[in-house]
A and B are shown apart, each in its own frame.
Chain A
């Protein structure tokens, strides 16, 4: 093409041609999508005994009467300190997944190291129908459905009852009244309609909502009519903290009916599970 100034420009053709190149591109796109899906897949790795029981049962499900899920470091710390502290719990599995915030181990079979964010399952030795799950890793929104389907899909629905303990920052609690310091941390509850019986704390008021793993589990239980109750603890501390963990104590009432618990706990044991960030943080004096 000649321009006003006498130079010659080469012009690119804007004609679209049906090329084989397009097909390759599509295949490549598909391949990339598939790779990402595989990478983001949620895998549950059970220990050999449990894997065997799953195989032996015809429906690939475990018999479970109570599933307790703890989401968040304080909920997990509470279970570690008050429930899992006796010797009668066995680690029976973990969930291996990858997302931008949760880079799980590249090999699924390796169990997560203690202290690492992870999703661990424990079963009581004397009462193997009681299962505890501690989830401290971040599960992305696109993985929540998979997680719930795979975990709850492994358990028989009949006779199953679920309890979820979850942490949340109090800054996300919406209320018209001003919350004085002494009120925090506090518990709020939500139940599926199949759940009979009283919750041990006031129900979560509108317009507050649940998000993330607790919401996914509760929704699943609501749809499949599994009795489920959730206790959400609103706290103003961002790290694991013994006072926040103690707020979950009302849940012990339900748990003590299922398994034998340590009667009283010294404050030192509790503090062991709470990260002592106070000493390191010189931000506030």
Chain B
């Protein structure tokens, strides 16, 4: 039984598990879905918007946060843990600019965030951060990047990935539908992210929030009308594809 090996996270179980870290990954699955796609000239992060209470200001429920002018991220999991990580990352971005006079590379800030997370898996009396994050942006040489971090402190670069509630379904959709040649077009990259989210989001476009960043531009959060335009275009394409299928 796992019970006696998950009380202090510094203890390995006999079969090599760190149960607190694995339980933290379960906490991530309780957050709503976030998807990231890396195009050639644009990087896209899409999230499932949570329904807010009637009296709650929905501008304060943000899943996508800018870390600097060239990097932004989305997270899934415990809201409060995310706030701490985002704040530390933002401070580090400015500290890096002051010290080195250059903006951070996406990999640098991802490594910084992952190191914080790993430190919390090896200290006594602390629990791991219950969030996974998707970090996207452009380096100063113009290369786009998408990284994913998880509560254990590992990070990997991805072409497209999803985290949160139905991440598995979305990832399978991305694996089936990701085409390298489509990533040259900004519209197709954005459409792929929206299509992936539509697989798992209830009631379509109005529960989706999307942020994009084009090379040498700052992050832009799309307004509802723009998202609806993409959704309409996607639905039209789906209808055409089904008509084609019926003909053959």
Contacts and interface: CB of A to CB of B under 8 A. Distances in A.
Interface in A162-192: 174, 180-182
Contacts of B61: 282, 285
Given A278-B51, A279-B53, A285 B29 contact: no
Contact of B32 (A180, A283, A285): A285
A174 B50 CA distance: 32
Interface in B77-110: 77-80, 82
Contacts of A279: 50-53
B168 A285 contact: no
Interface in B30-78: 30-32, 50-53, 61, 63, 75-78
A276 B82 CA distance: 24
A182 B169 CA distance: 9
A284 B51 contact: no
Q: How large is the interface on A (under 10, 10 to 19, 20 to 34, 35 or more residues)?
A: 10 to 19
Contact of A284 (B1, B27, B52): B27
Contacts of A285: 31-32, 50, 61, 63, 75-77, 79, 82
A280 interface: yes
A28 to B, nearest CB: 43
A278 B78 contact: no
A284 B53 contact: no
Contacts of B82: 285
Interface of B: 1, 27, 29-32, 50-53, 61, 63, 75-80, 82, 168-169
30 contacts: A174-B1, A180-B168, A182-B168, A276-B51, A278-B50, A278-B51, A279-B50, A279-B51, A279-B52, A279-B53, A282-B61, A282-B79, A283-B30, A283-B78, A283-B80, A284-B27, A284-B30, A284-B31, A284-B32, A284-B77, A284-B78, A284-B79, A285-B31, A285-B32, A285-B50, A285-B61, A285-B75, A285-B76, A285-B77, A285-B82
Given A181-B29, A285-B82, 19 more contacts: A174-B1, A182-B168, A278-B50, A279-B50, A279-B51, A280-B53, A282-B61, A282-B79, A283-B30, A283-B78, A283-B79, A283-B80, A284-B32, A284-B77, A285-B31, A285-B32, A285-B61, A285-B75, A285-B77
